[in-house]
Structure 1
Amino acid sequence: MDHLDIIETPLAELAPVGFKRIALGVEYKGSRYRGWQRQASGVLTVQQTLEEALAKVADSPVSLMCAGRTDAGVHACGQVVHFDTQAERSLKAWVMGANINLPHDVSVTWAQVMPAHFHARFKAIARRYRYVIYNDQIRPAHINEEITWNHRPLDVERMRAAAQSLVGTHDFSAFRAGQCQAKSPIKQIHHLRVSQHGKMIVLDIRANAFLHHMVRNIAGVLMTIGTGERPIEWAAEVLESRVRRTGGVTAHPYGLYLVQVEYRDEFPLPERFIGPHFLTGFSELGG
């Protein structure tokens, strides 16, 4: 299987001869950044910030590939990236060296040497996001850039019931952004859980892949149903319409976290808690 996988991997995706492929676990607070991807305009992005920090450790330019290109304002606590380098550094040096040179809102959590055919994006078999809603009449003064505040009371049972119609393999055209570049709108949602923890409501969604704004559009639909503004059946109606404008408003990016990326067993990676950090005490969220 490994040998076949190497043969089937396009040459452009392999680490060049003489280079090591290093994978990193990365977490960041996205509210200060215009998303993951480096932009020609020179605006602040996570990719540029991390590449510049790693270049100081490698003493040479570093180019990163990530598992999920998060949007402006979106956070991550389970992002996976890789880069190729000829620099000889210990794994601890990659982690600690990067973190010394990174701002307070980006951290490297682990480093690991990978096979030449590993690819953070194309070898991923599943991704998992959590969307965190703070449900109270008064907006919170703390963590207000790390949650989505909804002042209207939300009925979690209604949201939970509506969510079940989205689980499975479907055409999610009604939940994709107009600028989405994915080749196919058909994705498989493995689970979509809705849980409540005090004033926080957490949507936990795992799928083989996601469309642009898919989780935020799902969150918008479920919150609309949670307020009673729309019936539970509306989620299924939006899905079946395959038309984006039927799905209402795209939810705010601040509540969204990329929490986990999964790969086949041939690519074992270090395991950490499923974040974000302020939810790690809620054992009922599960792994």
Structure 2
Amino acid sequence: MRIALGLSYRGCAYLGWQSQPGGRTVQDQFEAALARFMGTPVRVACAGRTDAGVHALQQVVHFDSPVSRAPFSWVRGTNNFLPPDIAVNWAQPVVDAFHAQKSAVSRRYRYVLVQAKVRPALLHGLVGWTHLPLDASAMRAAAAILLGTHDFSAFRASSCQSRSPVKTLHAIDIGRQGDTWTFDFHASAFLHHMVRNIMGCLIAVGSGAQDSVWLHNVLQSCNRSLAAPTFMPHGLYFLGPQYPASFDLPDPACDLPQLFA
């Protein structure tokens, strides 16, 4: 039986999603908890790997189970063995053709940024920070340049394992409430560090250090060395993948916009 699970986690304490020998990753913690509940080792496939310090509101995974459990049992049973900063939100049987990564048609991220003279100590690890004043109009004009299907090599980490740098960026929505900025990204898929590298460039434009023509040239160059440095991971949230309606999976449980509207 193939099972899909939706989970959320706070990434501060972990070295990202993907399993590593030291065991300090979300995947390691999650698979250990799932194995204790099932009584047998298990490996899962995820919708999208997240970096160290990055959070998720709706990570989706799937695995093939040799045992049968009711959906609520998968949720409660696995959560019983998970640390408090990782939680399963829902579980559902799926057809064998479903794959958490390959079946996704798009993915969404949100970056939460605080603009303040002093770094926000109480929100450390949960938000990004800049002391520089930002121009919303300039950043929106720059973001519009990136929309569409492009070669995003200029925003790709050297360690990226994606087969192609060509992705379709559907939308970048920028909002502000008080000192808190939100940057919502929706794309067919993302390259390694793509959102954080774009964030570095948008902040360079918003602060007046660069203009939108510079960002256009960076995109066209496909040269990572011409773009801004990779921005900090702390304010990045994986809002989740989107799948064809035929799989009938729950909509992403995006509580984040309520917390950082």
TM-score range, shorter chain: over 0.9
Give a deviation string over 1:209-234, Cα, whole Å, max 9, x none: 11110000000000111111111222
**CA pair 213-140 structure 1, distance change in 2 beyond 3 A:** same
Q: How much does 1:275 deviate?
A: 3.9
SS in 1 for 2:107: strand
- Per-residue CA deviation, residues 111-143 of structure 1 (Å, 9 max, x unaligned), is 000001100011111000011111111111212
* Contact 2:175/2:181 (8 A) holds in 1: yes
Match of 1:167 in 2: 147
Q: Distance in 1 between matches of 2:130 and 2:23?
A: 29
Sequence identity (%): 47
Q: Secondary structure at 2:134's aligned position in 1?
A: coil
Say which of 55, 66, 81 aligns to 1:86.
66
Q: Provide the aligned length of Structure 1 versus Structure 2.
A: 261
Contact conserved, 1:172 with 1:186, CA < 8 A, in 2? Answer: yes
Matched, 1:115 2:100: no
Contact 1:259/1:275 (<8 A) preserved: no
Q: Partner of 1:268 in structure 2?
A: 248
Asked if structure 1 preserves the Cα contact closer than 8 Å seen for 2:239 and 2:252, the reply is no
Amino acid at match of 1:38: S
2:249, 2:58 → 1: CA distance?
11
- C-alpha displacement of 1:151: 1.2
1:161-200 aligned within 5 A: 161-200=141-180
1:280 paired residue number: 258
Q: Bigger CA drift: 55-64 or 106-115?
A: 55-64
Contact 2:240–2:252 under 8 Å retained in 1: no
Distance of 2:94 and 2:132 partners within structure 1: 47
In the alignment, is the contact (CA less than 8 A) between 1:126 and 1:262 conserved in 2? yes
- Cα offsets for 1:230-279 (capped at 9, x unmatched): 11222211101110010021001111111021111211111244242xx3
Letter in 1 for 2:189: A
Contact 1:155 1:227 (C-alpha < 8 Å) held by counterparts: yes
- 1:141 equivalent to 2:141? Answer no
Correspondences of 1:222-237 after superposition (within 5 Å)? 222-237=202-217
Matched, 1:100 2:80: yes
* Larger RCO, structure (CA 8 Å, separation 6 or more): 2
Deviation of the 1:281 alpha carbon: 5.7
**Secondary structure, aligned partner of 2:91:** strand
Q: Partners in 1 of 2:4 and 2:253 — Cα distance?
A: 18
Deviation at 1:58, TM superposition (A): 0.9
Stretches of structure 1 lacking an aligned partner (at least 5 in a row): 1-19
Q: Secondary structure at the match of 1:149?
A: strand
Q: Distance in 2 between matches of 1:203 and 1:135?
A: 13
Residues 1:33 and 2:33 are matched in the alignment: no
Aligned partners of 2:255, 2:189: CA distance in 1, in Å?
Answer: 19
Distance, in Å, in 2 between the alignment partners of 1:211 and 1:275 is 25
Q: Which amino acid in 1 is paired with 2:8? A: E
Checking the alignment, whether the CA contact within 8 Å between 2:109 and 2:184 is kept in structure 1 is yes
* Partner Cα separation in structure 1 for residue 136 and residue 254 of structure 2: 22
1:96 and 1:232 map into 2 onto residues whose CA distance is: 49
Question: 2:3 maps to what in 1?
Answer: 22
